[in-house]
């Protein structure tokens, strides 16, 4: 008897939600007419500053906090904590297990408690942990804090991408994801200079320089996390009574345009069935595979590019440290161009395929051309393709799903696959392959890029086929229990 009652309760809850949604939609009917074009542009600009820049800054500082281990290691942490053998690698690796495992529930939590409270809490928590890493004295303490750090940092990426996808229309989100991702690239590029400067605090308060890296960066994270509570915005349909920087009239306009764009501006009550419903959609796993496979190559290059420049191309250590940055500058330019034009032309797949082709050509040059200078040119092409492709996949998955809980599941799945790719990427270029020019790692990376290219072509073909069926009235795309939009079409 309990199952029928549960079913009746769920149906009643959905009907109540539908009635509320319809009433709110009726109240918004004049919102678009009330806002002038200039007012509409002003609202979008304010959203960009308060949402894209804020969550992008939080994610950027999480990247710095995640990878500051290498700078602390060369500054003396390994000697002071006796990180002999595989201890340093283990301390890095334990981060990824909770980081991957807890990403799916993070998108549920951010929806239930709100992004202000959730993102502020996790940022304060991981900032305190990073600060605490400046006071550890044993390998066990370091590894334990890294494990907990992975738990709290697991919430930032999927929650941020999910939040952004609820505020912007399908053909605005690509450029916003590009800006979000560009901020993290810039932070990663500057993190070495920051760490270098902090090591000059060596001896202050009786602490070695490597400890100051953790202390200062952890304190900065806590400060940014606290500020995010006042600077961030809740979901557009939220009724938690939290203070908004938008007027009611402006917020109504945002909700209405999302409803017109894809018809899912309101969230149905949470159930595990609704959250996991996205698991039956094959394209969700295709996007996750593409994102994770690309992350394998991206992390592999990030972990070992200086080694490749020294061991495979003959540059010295000082030259290698200087030569790492320029390819990422080109990657940032290509990233922004992809984001702008994929939104403007309302297509994603061709831009992703172009990025993969760029990386494939670059990797072939980088791995097999006999002249070191030409191989270095290949790094520019590889980096440009790899840096510009993740926001395209993020935008595609945001464009091609409907429903708030499916969107939450998809964001978590996509970003979780990137974490798995990070684990695999750390194992691609092995020390024993140095004599062969890291050829085995090159082959694996090349295979990942080719798989991504083929899989994206298949996705675009199937999406095009589905759109044609919808145009002929033979299928309703992304239809679910809230009905959906008759004119909804996939983006390819």
pLDDT confidence bin for 265, thresholds 50/70/90 = low
pLDDT at 18: 47
pLDDT confidence bin for 26, thresholds 50/70/90 = very low
Residue 471: is it exposed, middle or buried by C-beta count within 10 angstroms (0-12/13-18/19+)?
Answer: exposed
pLDDT at 59: 93
- The domain spans of the chain are 21-261, 276-477
pLDDT digits (tens, 9 = 90+) for 7-23: 444 444 445 444 444 44
DSSP element (H, E) containing 232: none
Percent of the chain scored above 90 by pLDDT?
Answer: 37
pLDDT at 243: 64
Report the range of poorest mean pLDDT among 48-62, 160-174, 230-244. 230-244
Report the range of poorest mean pLDDT among 269-273, 348-352, 471-475. 269-273
Residue 6 predicted with pLDDT over 50: no
CA 376 centroid distance within chain: 28
Per DSSP, the three-state class of 438 is coil
Structure tokens at 17: 């939600």
pLDDT at 312: 77
Q: Look at the domain 21-261 and name its fold.
A: Growth Hormone; Chain: A; (1.20.1250)
pLDDT confidence bin for 264, thresholds 50/70/90 = low
- Answer whether CATH 1.20.1250.20 is correct for domain 276-477: yes
pLDDT digits (tens, 9 = 90+) for 150-208: 999 999 988 998 899 889 988 888 899 999 989 988 887 777 778 888 988 998 999 99
Mean pLDDT on 270-281: 81
pLDDT at 242: 56
Of the two residues 361 and 1, the one the predictor is more confident about is: 361
Q: How far apart are CA 435 and CA 297, in angstroms?
A: 21
Mean pLDDT on 29-33: 48
Report the range of poorest mean pLDDT among 110-124, 224-238, 267-281, 347-361. 267-281
Fold identical between 21-261 and 276-477?
yes
Under DSSP, the state recorded for 51 is I
Under DSSP, the state recorded for 203 is T
- Compute, in degrees rounded to 10, the torsion defined by CA atoms 155, 160, 161, 165: 130
Of the two residues 23 and 329, the one the predictor is more confident about is: 329
Residue 397 predicted with pLDDT over 60: yes
pLDDT at 480: 66
Going by C-alpha positions, the residue among 229, 244, 235, 241 that lies closest to residue 119 is 229
Q: How far apart are CA 447 and CA 428, in angstroms?
A: 12
pTM of the model: 0.79
Residue 404 predicted with pLDDT over 60: yes
Alpha-carbon distance values, 369 to 309, 335, 380, 460 (Å): 14, 26, 14, 33
Average pLDDT over the chain reads 84
């Amino acid at each position: 008897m309990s199952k029928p009652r549960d079913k009746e309760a769920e149906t009643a809850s959905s009907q109540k939600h539908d009635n509320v949604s319809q009433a709110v939609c009726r109240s918004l009917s004049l919102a678009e007419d009330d806002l002038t074009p200039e007012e509409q542009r002003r609202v979008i600009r304010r959203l960009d500053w308060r949402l894209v820049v804020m969550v992008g800054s939080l994610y950027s500082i999480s990247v710095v906090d995640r990878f500051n281990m290498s700078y602390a290691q060369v500054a003396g942490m390994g000697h002071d904590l006796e990180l002999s053998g595989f201890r340093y690698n283990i301390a890095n690796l334990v981060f990824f297990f909770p980081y991957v495992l807890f990403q799916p529930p993070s998108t549920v939590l951010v929806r239930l408690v709100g992004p202000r409270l959730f993102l502020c809490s996790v940022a304060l928590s991981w900032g305190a942990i990073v600060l605490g890493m400046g006071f550890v004295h044993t390998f066990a303490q370091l590894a334990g804090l890294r494990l907990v750090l992975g738990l709290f940092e697991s919430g930032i990426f999927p929650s941020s991408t999910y939040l952004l996808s609820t505020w912007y229309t399908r053909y605005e989100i690509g450029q916003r994801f590009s800006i979000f991702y560009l901020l993290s690239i810039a932070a990663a590029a500057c993190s070495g200079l920051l760490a270098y400067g902090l090591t000059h605090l060596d001896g202050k308060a009786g602490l070695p320089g490597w400890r100051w890296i953790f202390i200062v960066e952890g304190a900065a994270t806590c400060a940014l996390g606290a500020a995010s509570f006042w600077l961030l915005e809740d979901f557009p349909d939220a009724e938690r009574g939290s203070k908004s920087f938008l007027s009611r009239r402006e917020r109504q306009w945002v909700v209405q345009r999302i409803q017109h764009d894809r018809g899912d501006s309101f969230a149905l009550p949470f159930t595990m069935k609704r959250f996991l419903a996205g698991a039956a959609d094959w394209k969700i796993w295709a996007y996750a595979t593409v994102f994770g496979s690309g992350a394998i190559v991206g992390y592999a290059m990030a972990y070992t590019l200086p080694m490749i420049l020294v061991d495979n191309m003959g540059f010295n250590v000082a030259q290698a440290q200087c030569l790492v940055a320029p390819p990422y500058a080109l990657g940032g330019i290509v990233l922004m161009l992809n984001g702008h034009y994929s939104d403007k032309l309302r297509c994603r797949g061709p831009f992703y395929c172009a990025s993969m082709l760029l990386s494939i050509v670059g990797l072939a040059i980088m791995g097999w051309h006999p002249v070191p200078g030409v191989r270095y040119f290949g790094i520019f092409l590889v980096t440009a393709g790899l840096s510009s492709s993740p926001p395209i996949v993020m935008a595609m998955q945001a464009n091609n799903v409907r429903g708030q809980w499916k969107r939450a599941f998809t964001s978590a799945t996509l970003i979780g696959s990137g974490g798995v790719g990070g684990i695999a990427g750390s194992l691609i270029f092995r020390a024993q392959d140095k004599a062969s020019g890291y050829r085995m790692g090159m082959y694996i990376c090349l295979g990942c890029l080719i798989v991504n290219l083929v899989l994206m072509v298949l996705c675009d073909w199937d999406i095009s086929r589905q759109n044609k069926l919808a145009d002929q009235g033979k299928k309703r795309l992304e239809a679910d229990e809230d009905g959906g939009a008759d004119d909804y079409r996939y983006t390819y």
